[in-house]
Amino acid sequence: YNGQRSNAPKSLGMSRRGVRGNFIPPVRTNGGGGSMSAGYATAPRGSAEGLEESTRKCLELLVGPDGELPDKLKNVEPRLIEHISNEIMDQDPNVRWDDIAGLEHAKKCVTEMVIWPLLRPDIFQGCRSPGKGLLLFGPPGTGKTMIGKAIAGEAKATFFSISASSLTSKWIGEGEKLVRALFGVASCRQPAVIFIDEIDSLLSQRKSDGEHESSRRLKTQFLIEMEGCGSGNDQLLLIGATNRPQELDEAARRRLSKRLYIPLPSAEARAWIVRNLLVKDGLFALSEDDMRKICDGTEGYSGSDMSNLVKEASMGPLRELLVQGTDINILRKDQMRPVMLKDFQDALLHVKPSVSQSELGLYEDWNRQFGSHS
Ligand code: ADP
């Protein structure tokens, strides 16, 4: 979901100085009109004309009524703004509370703490002013990303999502600039939610192996931007998600003032996931008793383990027909029976829980020590 298309490290603008790489931050001409192309000086190597059409379009969307880019974006390279706009920004992530099983406590906290303030900033001032940083922590695959997306959806906010490890691994030496661009574009797109997955890899208290200059600068830049997030009347919310909350240092914890534990799904929530996925595809025909057996057999499974289990179980009816000799080329969908308990029993042999009991203990300890409980 972080929108990165390739795994290859990017070294943008370092070696390839193409048209866009030569860009010099735009300068207003005297008495320029409202449009971008009219509004920027046409210096030989640094004009809006030198930019590709797609880049120019992205910039145009961010220009204020005065025809200027906001100050925060003035010294940001256009290619980074374009990357943020195209790959990291999502106008409608299309997840709603109703798509998320269980987690009632987290949904309630987040609604009060985040969604209402984003919808009604005028009411949430003074004593009611919300913290600007939210940490979602817990085992992998429990719905942290879904919650981030749902917040943006419910609060009608623009959603920006990036994995912190991509900042350190793919944007080698450029992470700091990208972070500045990210917060800059988000502040032009308010209300906005910035979701940083694996935030521990950015704000870890451990010195990363040979923590060199660039990763130190990246961390500093990020902390500065986080600090700025809470100031003024900005409707900008930062959400960090992590499976390794123990790695966060004191500075990170302070800035992420609300810290919500996102635990493994309850039996009820697991049943909801199974039912929801099968009903959506018209494959649901399990009895209450079957459902109870499935829930009993999936203690300790995460939401994402459950979704994998349903996928595997739903292959049962298909495999059965193929084993009986049906040709896949002429198989009709209505020939397939619904998914049954035995499909789940088979699937349980292959899909195992991805989180161990001992790991759960660590989350619970951290929650007791640092989690927000109201
Ligand atoms: P995380 O960010 O906590 O690692 P995600 O939010 O990316 O996990 O969830 C991964 C997938 O697992 C989701 O796309 C969804 O299919 C399933 N899933 C996880 N938790 C839930 C939940 N509470 N309700 C419904 N589906 C869930």
Mean pLDDT across 222-250: 84
Helix 303-313 to helix 341-350 angle (10° resolution) is 120
Q: How far is the CA of 158 from the centre of ligand 1 (A)?
A: 20
Kindly provide the b/e burial profile for residues 284-321, where b requires at least 16 CB atoms within 10 angstroms of the residue's own CB. eebeeebbeebbeebeebbbbbbbbbbebbbebbbeee
Q: How far is the CA of 326 from the centre of ligand 1 (A)?
A: 35
Q: How far is the CA of 287 from the centre of ligand 1 (A)?
A: 25
Ligand 1 atom 19, closest CA = 303
Q: Are 261 and 363 in contact (CB under 8 A)?
A: yes
Residues in the chain: 374
pLDDT of residue 142: 97
Q: Between 44 and 72, whose confidence is greater?
A: 72
Best of 100, 134, 142, 262 to mutate for ligand 1, by most ligand atoms within 8 A of CB?
Answer: 142
Mean pLDDT across 38-67: 62
Strand ranges in the chain using DSSP code E only, listed in sequence order:
89-90, 133-137, 158-163, 192-197, 236-242, 258-261
SS3 category, 179:
helix
Q: How many other CB atoms are there within 10 angstroms of residue 90's CB atom?
A: 18
Q: Are 62 and 192 in contact (CB under 8 A)?
A: no
pLDDT of residue 271: 97
Q: Are 80 and 185 in contact (CB under 8 A)?
A: no
Q: Between 199 and 65, whose confidence is greater?
A: 199
Residue 2, ligand 1, Cβ within 6 A: no
Average pLDDT of the chain to the nearest whole number: 81
The region that residue 26 occupies, defined by phi over 0 for left and psi between -120 and 50 for alpha, beta otherwise, is beta
Q: Is the pLDDT of residue 21 over 50?
A: no
Q: How far is the CA of 354 from the centre of ligand 1 (A)?
A: 13
Which contacts of 58-64 are long-range, i.e. CB under 8 A and separated by 24 or more positions? 58/82, 58/85, 58/86, 60/35, 60/36, 61/85, 62/185, 62/188, 62/189, 63/36, 63/39
Q: How far is the CA of 82 from the centre of ligand 1 (A)?
A: 29
Residue 102, ligand 1, Cβ within 6 A: yes
Best of 307, 309, 311 to mutate for ligand 1, by most ligand atoms within 8 A of CB?
Answer: 307
| Nearest-angstrom CA–CA distance, 68 and 59 | 10
Write the CB contacts of 366 (distance below 8 Å, at least 6 apart in sequence). Answer: 137, 245, 246
Q: What is the dihedral of CA 69, 175, 58, 25, to 10 degrees?
A: 40
What confidence tier does 41 reach under pLDDT thresholds 50, 70, 90?
Answer: very low
Tens-place pLDDT, residues 155-166? 888 889 988 888
pLDDT of residue 27: 38
Best of 304, 312, 314, 354 to mutate for ligand 1, by most ligand atoms within 8 A of CB?
Answer: 304
Residue 146, ligand 1, Cβ within 6 A: yes
Q: Note whether ipTM > 0.90 here.
A: yes
Q: Between 13 and 56, whose confidence is greater?
A: 56
pLDDT of residue 356: 92
Rounded percentage of the chain residues whose pLDDT exceeds 90: 39
Q: Are 163 and 156 in contact (CB under 8 A)?
A: no
| Nearest-angstrom CA–CA distance, 182 and 19 | 22
SS3 category, 140:
coil
